[in-house]
Chain A
Amino acid sequence: MSSHAQAPPMIQVRGLVKRFGLRAVLRGVDLTVHAGEFVALLGPNGAGKTTLLRILATLSRPTRGEVRLAGYRLPGQASQARRYLGLVSHQPLLYGDLSAAQNLRFYARLYGVPDAEARLQTLLRRVGLYARRRDLVRTFSRGMQQRLAIARALLHDPAVLLMDEPYTGLDQDAAARLDDLLQAIAAEGRTVLMASHNLPRVAALASRFVVLTRGRIAASMPRAAISDRDLLDFYRATVMRPAPAS
Protein backbone atom coordinates (compact mmCIF):
# COMPACT_ATOMS: atom_id res chain seq x y z
CA MET A 1 0.00 0.00 0.00
CA SER A 2 1.38 3.42 -0.90
CA SER A 3 2.24 5.82 1.89
CA HIS A 4 -0.37 8.22 0.55
CA ALA A 5 -3.18 5.78 1.29
CA GLN A 6 -2.25 5.95 4.98
CA ALA A 7 -2.35 9.72 5.01
CA PRO A 8 -5.55 11.50 6.06
CA PRO A 9 -8.02 12.17 3.23
CA MET A 10 -7.96 15.80 2.14
CA ILE A 11 -10.68 15.41 -0.50
CA GLN A 12 -13.61 13.06 -0.01
CA VAL A 13 -16.46 12.79 -2.48
CA ARG A 14 -19.31 10.29 -2.17
CA GLY A 15 -22.16 9.90 -4.63
CA LEU A 16 -21.69 13.40 -6.06
CA VAL A 17 -24.37 14.43 -8.51
CA LYS A 18 -24.55 17.80 -10.22
CA ARG A 19 -27.33 18.84 -12.56
CA PHE A 20 -27.78 22.04 -14.51
CA GLY A 21 -31.51 22.03 -15.08
CA LEU A 22 -32.33 18.59 -16.48
CA ARG A 23 -28.79 17.93 -17.66
CA ALA A 24 -26.69 15.75 -15.36
CA VAL A 25 -23.00 16.63 -15.57
CA LEU A 26 -21.82 14.52 -12.63
CA ARG A 27 -23.68 11.25 -12.10
CA GLY A 28 -22.44 9.82 -8.85
CA VAL A 29 -18.74 10.52 -8.39
CA ASP A 30 -16.78 8.78 -5.64
CA LEU A 31 -13.26 10.06 -5.10
CA THR A 32 -10.78 10.20 -2.24
CA VAL A 33 -7.51 12.11 -2.42
CA HIS A 34 -5.13 11.62 0.47
CA ALA A 35 -2.77 14.23 1.87
CA GLY A 36 0.32 14.64 -0.30
CA GLU A 37 -1.13 12.93 -3.37
CA PHE A 38 -0.77 14.52 -6.79
CA VAL A 39 -3.78 13.23 -8.70
CA ALA A 40 -4.20 13.82 -12.40
CA LEU A 41 -7.86 14.06 -13.35
CA LEU A 42 -8.15 12.95 -16.95
CA GLY A 43 -11.11 12.79 -19.26
CA PRO A 44 -12.54 14.04 -22.54
CA ASN A 45 -14.18 17.42 -23.00
CA GLY A 46 -17.57 17.47 -21.31
CA ALA A 47 -16.69 14.71 -18.85
CA GLY A 48 -17.33 16.96 -15.85
CA LYS A 49 -13.77 17.73 -14.76
CA THR A 50 -14.26 21.49 -14.44
CA THR A 51 -17.61 21.01 -12.71
CA LEU A 52 -16.01 18.67 -10.16
CA LEU A 53 -13.17 21.12 -9.50
CA ARG A 54 -15.58 24.05 -9.13
CA ILE A 55 -17.61 22.13 -6.55
CA LEU A 56 -14.44 21.30 -4.61
CA ALA A 57 -13.38 24.95 -4.86
CA THR A 58 -16.76 25.98 -3.31
CA LEU A 59 -17.67 27.91 -6.46
CA SER A 60 -20.56 25.59 -7.24
CA ARG A 61 -22.95 23.57 -5.07
CA PRO A 62 -23.62 19.85 -5.48
CA THR A 63 -27.12 18.73 -6.37
CA ARG A 64 -26.69 15.60 -4.25
CA GLY A 65 -23.92 13.73 -2.49
CA GLU A 66 -21.33 14.32 0.16
CA VAL A 67 -18.26 16.44 -0.38
CA ARG A 68 -15.55 17.16 2.17
CA LEU A 69 -12.40 19.19 1.78
CA ALA A 70 -9.80 19.19 4.55
CA GLY A 71 -12.47 17.57 6.68
CA TYR A 72 -15.00 20.37 6.15
CA ARG A 73 -18.34 19.54 4.64
CA LEU A 74 -19.29 21.43 1.49
CA PRO A 75 -21.19 23.63 0.95
CA GLY A 76 -22.20 24.08 4.61
CA GLN A 77 -18.68 24.72 5.90
CA ALA A 78 -17.36 26.27 2.70
CA SER A 79 -15.98 29.43 4.29
CA GLN A 80 -13.79 27.36 6.64
CA ALA A 81 -12.69 25.04 3.83
CA ARG A 82 -11.55 27.95 1.65
CA ARG A 83 -8.64 28.64 4.01
CA TYR A 84 -7.15 25.32 2.94
CA LEU A 85 -7.56 25.49 -0.80
CA GLY A 86 -6.02 27.31 -3.74
CA LEU A 87 -7.30 27.24 -7.31
CA VAL A 88 -5.48 27.68 -10.60
CA SER A 89 -8.13 27.92 -13.28
CA HIS A 90 -8.39 28.41 -17.06
CA GLN A 91 -8.46 32.12 -16.36
CA PRO A 92 -5.75 33.61 -14.17
CA LEU A 93 -8.23 35.40 -11.83
CA LEU A 94 -6.03 38.50 -11.98
CA TYR A 95 -6.73 42.18 -12.60
CA GLY A 96 -5.14 43.41 -15.80
CA ASP A 97 -5.04 47.05 -14.70
CA LEU A 98 -3.04 46.25 -11.59
CA SER A 99 0.62 45.28 -11.46
CA ALA A 100 1.78 41.81 -10.48
CA ALA A 101 2.71 42.98 -6.99
CA GLN A 102 -0.58 44.88 -6.58
CA ASN A 103 -2.57 41.80 -7.54
CA LEU A 104 -0.77 39.68 -4.96
CA ARG A 105 -1.02 42.42 -2.34
CA PHE A 106 -4.77 42.62 -2.90
CA TYR A 107 -5.26 38.87 -2.54
CA ALA A 108 -2.95 38.81 0.49
CA ARG A 109 -5.28 41.31 2.16
CA LEU A 110 -8.34 39.25 1.28
CA TYR A 111 -6.73 36.13 2.68
CA GLY A 112 -5.32 37.81 5.77
CA VAL A 113 -1.80 36.64 4.95
CA PRO A 114 0.70 37.67 7.66
CA ASP A 115 3.96 39.33 6.52
CA ALA A 116 2.27 39.90 3.18
CA GLU A 117 5.06 41.97 1.56
CA ALA A 118 7.75 39.41 2.34
CA ARG A 119 5.49 36.58 1.25
CA LEU A 120 4.57 38.09 -2.11
CA GLN A 121 8.18 39.00 -2.88
CA THR A 122 9.27 35.44 -2.10
CA LEU A 123 6.61 34.04 -4.41
CA LEU A 124 7.36 36.51 -7.20
CA ARG A 125 11.00 35.41 -7.11
CA ARG A 126 10.06 31.75 -7.13
CA VAL A 127 7.79 32.10 -10.17
CA GLY A 128 10.40 34.23 -11.94
CA LEU A 129 8.38 37.45 -12.07
CA TYR A 130 10.17 39.61 -9.51
CA ALA A 131 11.69 41.83 -12.21
CA ARG A 132 8.22 42.42 -13.66
CA ARG A 133 6.49 43.01 -10.33
CA ARG A 134 5.60 46.63 -11.15
CA ASP A 135 4.32 45.87 -14.66
CA LEU A 136 0.61 45.70 -15.40
CA VAL A 137 -0.72 42.18 -15.73
CA ARG A 138 -2.37 42.99 -19.05
CA THR A 139 1.13 43.36 -20.53
CA PHE A 140 2.03 39.80 -19.48
CA SER A 141 2.08 36.83 -21.81
CA ARG A 142 -0.25 33.91 -21.15
CA GLY A 143 2.60 31.94 -19.58
CA MET A 144 3.55 34.78 -17.26
CA GLN A 145 -0.07 35.25 -16.20
CA GLN A 146 -0.30 31.56 -15.40
CA ARG A 147 2.84 31.71 -13.26
CA LEU A 148 1.45 34.71 -11.42
CA ALA A 149 -1.82 32.82 -10.99
CA ILE A 150 0.09 30.04 -9.26
CA ALA A 151 1.73 32.59 -6.99
CA ARG A 152 -1.74 33.94 -6.20
CA ALA A 153 -3.03 30.45 -5.43
CA LEU A 154 -0.11 29.77 -3.07
CA LEU A 155 -0.18 33.09 -1.20
CA HIS A 156 -2.03 31.75 1.81
CA ASP A 157 -0.06 28.49 1.83
CA PRO A 158 -3.01 26.19 1.09
CA ALA A 159 -2.90 22.51 1.91
CA VAL A 160 -4.90 21.63 -1.23
CA LEU A 161 -4.27 22.93 -4.72
CA LEU A 162 -6.89 22.48 -7.44
CA MET A 163 -5.72 23.05 -11.00
CA ASP A 164 -7.95 23.14 -14.07
CA GLU A 165 -6.05 22.72 -17.34
CA PRO A 166 -3.10 24.89 -16.27
CA TYR A 167 -1.24 24.23 -19.55
CA THR A 168 -3.99 25.72 -21.71
CA GLY A 169 -2.60 28.27 -24.15
CA LEU A 170 1.04 27.85 -23.11
CA ASP A 171 3.89 27.50 -25.59
CA GLN A 172 6.63 24.90 -25.04
CA ASP A 173 8.88 27.22 -23.08
CA ALA A 174 6.10 28.42 -20.81
CA ALA A 175 4.90 24.84 -20.33
CA ALA A 176 8.41 23.76 -19.35
CA ARG A 177 8.61 26.57 -16.79
CA LEU A 178 5.25 25.48 -15.43
CA ASP A 179 6.55 21.89 -15.16
CA ASP A 180 9.38 23.14 -12.92
CA LEU A 181 6.94 24.99 -10.69
CA LEU A 182 4.58 22.06 -10.40
CA GLN A 183 7.43 19.68 -9.60
CA ALA A 184 8.44 21.97 -6.76
CA ILE A 185 4.83 22.08 -5.54
CA ALA A 186 4.62 18.30 -5.68
CA ALA A 187 7.89 17.98 -3.75
CA GLU A 188 6.43 20.14 -0.96
CA GLY A 189 3.88 17.51 -0.19
CA ARG A 190 0.79 19.56 -0.99
CA THR A 191 -2.32 17.72 -2.07
CA VAL A 192 -2.93 18.46 -5.73
CA LEU A 193 -5.83 17.57 -7.98
CA MET A 194 -5.11 18.64 -11.53
CA ALA A 195 -7.39 18.31 -14.54
CA SER A 196 -5.42 18.16 -17.75
CA HIS A 197 -5.46 16.87 -21.31
CA ASN A 198 -1.68 16.95 -21.45
CA LEU A 199 -0.89 13.29 -20.73
CA PRO A 200 2.91 13.40 -21.15
CA ARG A 201 3.24 16.30 -18.74
CA VAL A 202 0.94 14.95 -16.04
CA ALA A 203 2.63 11.56 -16.31
CA ALA A 204 5.82 13.12 -14.97
CA LEU A 205 4.01 14.77 -12.04
CA ALA A 206 1.15 12.61 -10.86
CA SER A 207 1.19 9.85 -8.26
CA ARG A 208 -2.24 8.63 -9.43
CA PHE A 209 -4.44 8.94 -12.49
CA VAL A 210 -8.21 9.19 -12.26
CA VAL A 211 -10.27 9.08 -15.44
CA LEU A 212 -13.64 10.82 -15.48
CA THR A 213 -15.99 10.08 -18.35
CA ARG A 214 -19.65 10.97 -18.78
CA GLY A 215 -19.88 12.23 -15.23
CA ARG A 216 -18.48 9.13 -13.50
CA ILE A 217 -15.07 7.91 -12.37
CA ALA A 218 -14.23 5.23 -14.91
CA ALA A 219 -10.80 4.25 -13.61
CA SER A 220 -8.24 5.03 -10.94
CA MET A 221 -4.65 3.86 -11.37
CA PRO A 222 -1.48 4.50 -9.32
CA ARG A 223 1.32 6.00 -11.38
CA ALA A 224 3.68 3.22 -10.44
CA ALA A 225 1.34 0.62 -11.92
CA ILE A 226 1.54 1.89 -15.49
CA SER A 227 4.38 2.77 -17.84
CA ASP A 228 4.55 5.94 -19.94
CA ARG A 229 4.09 3.83 -23.05
CA ASP A 230 0.90 2.19 -21.81
CA LEU A 231 -0.63 5.34 -20.34
CA LEU A 232 -2.17 6.59 -23.59
CA ASP A 233 -3.62 3.16 -24.40
CA PHE A 234 -5.03 2.91 -20.88
CA TYR A 235 -6.63 6.34 -21.21
CA ARG A 236 -8.13 5.63 -24.63
CA ALA A 237 -9.47 2.27 -23.57
CA THR A 238 -11.08 3.77 -20.49
CA VAL A 239 -12.67 6.67 -22.33
CA MET A 240 -14.02 4.51 -25.14
CA ARG A 241 -15.48 1.91 -22.80
CA PRO A 242 -19.31 1.86 -23.14
CA ALA A 243 -21.23 3.63 -20.42
CA PRO A 244 -22.80 1.30 -17.85
CA ALA A 245 -26.57 0.89 -18.11
CA SER A 246 -28.21 3.16 -15.52
Chain B
Amino acid sequence: MSTAPLDTRPRAQARPQTALWRAVLAIVWKDLASEWRSRELLSSMMVFALAVLFIFNFALELDARTRTEVIGGMLWSTFTFAGTLGLNRSMAAEKDRGALDGLLLAPMDRSAIYLGKVLANWLFMLAMAGLVLPLVSMLYNQNLFRLGLLGVIVLGSLGYVAVGTLLAAMAVQARTRDMLLPILLLPLVLPVLIPAVRASMGFLRDLPWADFASSVHLLVATDIIFLAVGYMLFDAVMAE
Protein backbone atom coordinates (compact mmCIF):
# COMPACT_ATOMS: atom_id res chain seq x y z
CA MET B 1 0.00 0.00 0.00
CA SER B 2 1.42 3.38 -0.96
CA THR B 3 2.42 5.86 1.74
CA ALA B 4 1.80 8.84 -0.52
CA PRO B 5 -0.46 11.49 1.01
CA LEU B 6 -4.04 10.39 0.85
CA ASP B 7 -5.30 13.59 -0.66
CA THR B 8 -3.34 16.44 -2.15
CA ARG B 9 -6.32 18.78 -2.52
CA PRO B 10 -6.29 21.91 -0.42
CA ARG B 11 -7.87 21.34 2.97
CA ALA B 12 -11.62 21.65 2.65
CA GLN B 13 -12.89 25.08 3.45
CA ALA B 14 -15.78 25.44 5.80
CA ARG B 15 -18.96 24.13 4.21
CA PRO B 16 -22.39 25.18 5.33
CA GLN B 17 -24.24 22.78 7.59
CA THR B 18 -25.88 19.92 5.71
CA ALA B 19 -29.47 20.83 4.80
CA LEU B 20 -32.00 19.30 7.18
CA TRP B 21 -34.10 17.65 4.50
CA ARG B 22 -31.04 16.13 2.81
CA ALA B 23 -29.88 14.57 6.09
CA VAL B 24 -33.39 13.31 6.90
CA LEU B 25 -33.75 11.61 3.52
CA ALA B 26 -30.27 10.07 3.82
CA ILE B 27 -31.20 8.53 7.18
CA VAL B 28 -34.50 7.21 5.84
CA TRP B 29 -32.74 5.70 2.84
CA LYS B 30 -30.16 4.09 5.11
CA ASP B 31 -32.82 2.51 7.35
CA LEU B 32 -34.82 1.22 4.40
CA ALA B 33 -31.74 -0.18 2.67
CA SER B 34 -30.56 -1.90 5.87
CA GLU B 35 -34.00 -3.37 6.48
CA TRP B 36 -34.23 -4.57 2.87
CA ARG B 37 -31.03 -6.56 3.42
CA SER B 38 -31.69 -7.86 6.92
CA ARG B 39 -35.52 -7.98 7.08
CA GLU B 40 -35.01 -8.13 10.81
CA LEU B 41 -37.20 -5.33 12.09
CA LEU B 42 -40.30 -5.82 9.97
CA SER B 43 -40.31 -9.58 10.34
CA SER B 44 -40.07 -9.40 14.13
CA MET B 45 -42.86 -6.79 14.24
CA MET B 46 -45.05 -8.95 12.00
CA VAL B 47 -44.49 -12.13 13.99
CA PHE B 48 -45.28 -10.31 17.22
CA ALA B 49 -48.38 -8.69 15.71
CA LEU B 50 -49.64 -12.05 14.49
CA ALA B 51 -49.04 -13.59 17.90
CA VAL B 52 -51.02 -10.80 19.59
CA LEU B 53 -53.87 -11.16 17.08
CA PHE B 54 -54.14 -14.91 17.51
CA ILE B 55 -54.03 -14.64 21.28
CA PHE B 56 -56.85 -12.08 21.22
CA ASN B 57 -58.84 -14.21 18.79
CA PHE B 58 -58.58 -17.54 20.56
CA ALA B 59 -58.32 -16.44 24.19
CA LEU B 60 -61.36 -14.16 24.24
CA GLU B 61 -63.94 -16.26 22.25
CA LEU B 62 -66.12 -13.28 21.45
CA ASP B 63 -69.44 -13.43 19.66
CA ALA B 64 -69.79 -11.66 16.32
CA ARG B 65 -71.41 -8.52 17.76
CA THR B 66 -68.82 -8.08 20.52
CA ARG B 67 -66.03 -8.60 18.05
CA THR B 68 -67.30 -5.67 16.04
CA GLU B 69 -67.35 -3.54 19.19
CA VAL B 70 -63.75 -4.27 20.19
CA ILE B 71 -62.03 -4.44 16.82
CA GLY B 72 -60.73 -0.87 17.03
CA GLY B 73 -59.11 -1.41 20.43
CA MET B 74 -57.74 -4.76 19.40
CA LEU B 75 -56.22 -3.31 16.25
CA TRP B 76 -54.47 -0.49 18.12
CA SER B 77 -53.29 -2.85 20.87
CA THR B 78 -51.63 -4.94 18.19
CA PHE B 79 -50.02 -1.88 16.60
CA THR B 80 -48.84 -0.61 20.00
CA PHE B 81 -47.15 -3.81 21.15
CA ALA B 82 -45.57 -4.62 17.80
CA GLY B 83 -44.61 -0.98 17.35
CA THR B 84 -42.76 -0.94 20.69
CA LEU B 85 -40.68 -3.88 19.51
CA GLY B 86 -39.88 -2.07 16.27
CA LEU B 87 -38.92 1.18 18.00
CA ASN B 88 -36.59 -0.59 20.41
CA ARG B 89 -34.86 -2.53 17.64
CA SER B 90 -34.57 0.50 15.39
CA MET B 91 -32.62 2.52 17.96
CA ALA B 92 -30.78 -0.48 19.40
CA ALA B 93 -29.36 -1.24 15.96
CA GLU B 94 -27.73 2.21 15.92
CA LYS B 95 -26.42 2.00 19.46
CA ASP B 96 -25.12 -1.57 19.37
CA ARG B 97 -23.02 -1.03 16.26
CA GLY B 98 -21.76 2.33 17.54
CA ALA B 99 -23.31 3.93 14.49
CA LEU B 100 -25.30 6.36 16.62
CA ASP B 101 -22.02 8.17 17.31
CA GLY B 102 -21.46 8.34 13.56
CA LEU B 103 -24.78 10.13 13.16
CA LEU B 104 -24.08 12.46 16.08
CA LEU B 105 -20.70 13.40 14.57
CA ALA B 106 -22.21 14.74 11.36
CA PRO B 107 -22.18 18.54 10.91
CA MET B 108 -25.94 18.93 10.82
CA ASP B 109 -28.84 19.79 13.08
CA ARG B 110 -29.13 16.67 15.24
CA SER B 111 -32.90 16.92 15.02
CA ALA B 112 -32.44 15.52 11.51
CA ILE B 113 -31.62 12.20 13.17
CA TYR B 114 -34.92 12.36 15.04
CA LEU B 115 -36.95 13.28 11.97
CA GLY B 116 -35.21 10.66 9.82
CA LYS B 117 -35.84 7.91 12.38
CA VAL B 118 -39.47 9.04 12.84
CA LEU B 119 -40.07 8.86 9.11
CA ALA B 120 -38.40 5.47 8.76
CA ASN B 121 -40.21 4.03 11.80
CA TRP B 122 -43.48 5.42 10.46
CA LEU B 123 -42.96 3.65 7.15
CA PHE B 124 -42.21 0.39 8.98
CA MET B 125 -45.38 0.73 11.07
CA LEU B 126 -47.48 1.43 8.00
CA ALA B 127 -45.95 -1.61 6.28
CA MET B 128 -46.83 -3.71 9.31
CA ALA B 129 -50.36 -2.30 9.29
CA GLY B 130 -50.64 -3.12 5.61
CA LEU B 131 -49.86 -6.75 6.38
CA VAL B 132 -52.00 -6.96 9.54
CA LEU B 133 -55.18 -5.39 8.14
CA PRO B 134 -56.03 -8.16 5.63
CA LEU B 135 -55.56 -10.76 8.34
CA VAL B 136 -57.79 -8.91 10.81
CA SER B 137 -60.38 -8.41 8.04
CA MET B 138 -60.45 -12.16 7.50
CA LEU B 139 -60.48 -13.14 11.17
CA TYR B 140 -63.18 -10.67 12.13
CA ASN B 141 -65.14 -10.75 8.87
CA GLN B 142 -64.95 -6.96 8.56
CA ASN B 143 -63.85 -4.82 5.65
CA LEU B 144 -61.11 -2.66 7.19
CA PHE B 145 -59.98 -1.08 3.95
CA ARG B 146 -62.01 2.10 4.37
CA LEU B 147 -60.50 5.44 3.53
CA GLY B 148 -61.37 7.01 6.88
CA LEU B 149 -59.90 4.14 8.88
CA LEU B 150 -56.76 4.12 6.77
CA GLY B 151 -56.41 7.85 7.42
CA VAL B 152 -56.71 7.26 11.17
CA ILE B 153 -54.05 4.55 11.00
CA VAL B 154 -51.72 6.94 9.14
CA LEU B 155 -52.26 9.72 11.70
CA GLY B 156 -52.22 7.47 14.74
CA SER B 157 -49.03 5.66 13.75
CA LEU B 158 -47.35 9.02 13.09
CA GLY B 159 -48.14 10.26 16.60
CA TYR B 160 -47.05 6.93 18.03
CA VAL B 161 -43.63 6.98 16.36
CA ALA B 162 -43.19 10.70 17.08
CA VAL B 163 -43.25 10.11 20.83
CA GLY B 164 -41.86 6.58 20.62
CA THR B 165 -38.72 7.55 18.69
CA LEU B 166 -37.80 10.21 21.25
CA LEU B 167 -38.35 7.82 24.15
CA ALA B 168 -36.48 5.01 22.37
CA ALA B 169 -33.51 7.39 22.00
CA MET B 170 -33.62 8.00 25.76
CA ALA B 171 -34.11 4.35 26.66
CA VAL B 172 -31.38 3.01 24.37
CA GLN B 173 -28.72 4.56 26.62
CA ALA B 174 -29.85 2.41 29.54
CA ARG B 175 -28.98 -1.22 30.18
CA THR B 176 -32.64 -2.07 30.84
CA ARG B 177 -33.85 -0.49 27.61
CA ASP B 178 -36.12 -3.42 26.64
CA MET B 179 -38.08 -2.93 29.85
CA LEU B 180 -37.72 0.84 30.06
CA LEU B 181 -39.23 1.80 26.71
CA PRO B 182 -42.66 0.19 27.24
CA ILE B 183 -42.82 1.65 30.76
CA LEU B 184 -42.11 5.15 29.45
CA LEU B 185 -44.03 4.87 26.20
CA LEU B 186 -47.37 3.33 27.09
CA PRO B 187 -48.59 6.09 29.42
CA LEU B 188 -47.33 8.89 27.16
CA VAL B 189 -48.86 7.44 24.01
CA LEU B 190 -52.40 7.41 25.47
CA PRO B 191 -53.22 10.87 24.00
CA VAL B 192 -52.67 9.23 20.60
CA LEU B 193 -54.23 5.83 21.30
CA ILE B 194 -57.50 6.97 22.85
CA PRO B 195 -58.58 9.27 20.00
CA ALA B 196 -57.21 6.77 17.45
CA VAL B 197 -59.40 3.99 18.84
CA ARG B 198 -62.46 6.27 19.03
CA ALA B 199 -61.94 7.58 15.51
CA SER B 200 -61.36 4.05 14.19
CA MET B 201 -64.63 2.85 15.73
CA GLY B 202 -66.40 5.91 14.36
CA PHE B 203 -65.43 4.97 10.80
CA LEU B 204 -66.02 1.24 11.29
CA ARG B 205 -69.54 1.79 12.67
CA ASP B 206 -70.33 4.47 10.05
CA LEU B 207 -71.21 6.94 12.80
CA PRO B 208 -72.05 10.58 11.92
CA TRP B 209 -68.89 12.65 11.51
CA ALA B 210 -69.91 15.05 14.27
CA ASP B 211 -69.87 12.17 16.78
CA PHE B 212 -66.14 11.52 16.45
CA ALA B 213 -64.69 14.56 14.64
CA SER B 214 -63.18 15.78 17.92
CA SER B 215 -61.16 12.55 18.13
CA VAL B 216 -59.69 13.13 14.69
CA HIS B 217 -58.89 16.75 15.55
CA LEU B 218 -57.25 15.64 18.79
CA LEU B 219 -55.18 13.10 16.89
CA VAL B 220 -53.90 15.76 14.49
CA ALA B 221 -53.09 18.10 17.37
CA THR B 222 -51.19 15.46 19.35
CA ASP B 223 -49.21 14.51 16.25
CA ILE B 224 -48.11 18.11 15.79
CA ILE B 225 -47.29 18.55 19.48
CA PHE B 226 -45.30 15.32 19.77
CA LEU B 227 -43.35 16.04 16.59
CA ALA B 228 -42.52 19.55 17.79
CA VAL B 229 -41.47 18.33 21.24
CA GLY B 230 -39.32 15.57 19.76
CA TYR B 231 -37.69 17.98 17.31
CA MET B 232 -36.82 20.43 20.10
CA LEU B 233 -35.68 17.92 22.72
CA PHE B 234 -33.73 15.34 20.70
CA ASP B 235 -30.37 17.08 20.94
CA ALA B 236 -30.74 17.44 24.70
CA VAL B 237 -31.77 13.77 25.02
CA MET B 238 -28.61 12.71 23.16
CA ALA B 239 -26.29 14.85 25.30
CA GLU B 240 -23.91 12.79 27.43
Measured CB to CB, the residues of A under 8 A from B are 54, 57-61, 75, 79-80, 82-87, 89-98, 102, 106-107, 109-112, 122-123, 126, 128, 136, 152, 154, 156-159, 177, 180-181, 183-185, 187-188
The smallest beta-carbon distance between A57 and chain B, in angstroms, is: 6
- B15 to chain A: closest residue by CB: A112
Measured CB to CB, the residues of B under 8 A from A are 1-7, 9, 11-12, 14-19, 22-23, 25-27, 29-30, 33-35, 37-38, 97-99, 101-110, 239-240
A97 pairs with B105, CB closer than 8 A: no
- B26 to chain A: closest residue by CB: A109
B102 pairs with A93, CB closer than 8 A: yes
* Complex Cα gap A183–B2 (Å): 10
* Complex Cα gap A224–B134 (Å): 73
For A85, the chain B residues whose CB sits under 8 A away are 105
* Complex Cα gap A177–B104 (Å): 28
> Which listed residue, B6, B26, B37, touches A110 by the CB 8 Å rule?
B26
- A96 to chain B: closest residue by CB: B97
B7 pairs with A90, CB closer than 8 A: no
The verdict on A157 contacting B9 (CB below 8 Å), with A82-B105, A97-B37 known, is yes
The smallest beta-carbon distance between A168 and chain B, in angstroms, is: 12
For A94, the chain B residues whose CB sits under 8 A away are 97, 99, 102
**Chain B interface, DSSP helix/strand/loop, else mixed:** loop
B9 pairs with A106, CB closer than 8 A: no
The verdict on A83 contacting B107 (CB below 8 Å), with A96-B97, A185-B6 known, is yes
The smallest beta-carbon distance between B233 and chain A, in angstroms, is: 16
B7 pairs with A59, CB closer than 8 A: no
> Which listed residue, A87, A91, A154, A184, touches B2 by the CB 8 Å rule?
A184
B29 pairs with A106, CB closer than 8 A: yes
B14 pairs with A97, CB closer than 8 A: no
Q: Which of B26, B103, B107 has the most CB of A within 10 A?
A: B107
A181 pairs with B1, CB closer than 8 A: yes
A157 pairs with B30, CB closer than 8 A: no
The verdict on A110 contacting B3 (CB below 8 Å), with A94-B97, A98-B30 known, is no
**9 sample A-B contacts, Cβ–Cβ < 8 Å, listed by A number:** A59-B105, A83-B14, A83-B15, A87-B101, A93-B101, A95-B34, A122-B7, A123-B6, A177-B1
A184 pairs with B4, CB closer than 8 A: yes
The smallest beta-carbon distance between A39 and chain B, in angstroms, is: 19
B101 pairs with A95, CB closer than 8 A: no
For A180, the chain B residues whose CB sits under 8 A away are 1-3
The smallest beta-carbon distance between B17 and chain A, in angstroms, is: 6
B17 pairs with A91, CB closer than 8 A: no
A183 pairs with B97, CB closer than 8 A: no
B240 pairs with A106, CB closer than 8 A: no
A111 pairs with B106, CB closer than 8 A: yes
* Complex Cα gap A32–B22 (Å): 35
> Which listed residue, B38, B104, B109, B239, touches A97 by the CB 8 Å rule?
B38
The verdict on A91 contacting B97 (CB below 8 Å), with A57-B105, A59-B104, A110-B18 known, is yes
For B98, the chain A residues whose CB sits under 8 A away are 89-93
* Complex Cα gap A83–B19 (Å): 13
B6 pairs with A126, CB closer than 8 A: yes
- A84 to chain B: closest residue by CB: B14
For B34, the chain A residues whose CB sits under 8 A away are 95, 97-98
For B30, the chain A residues whose CB sits under 8 A away are 95, 98, 106
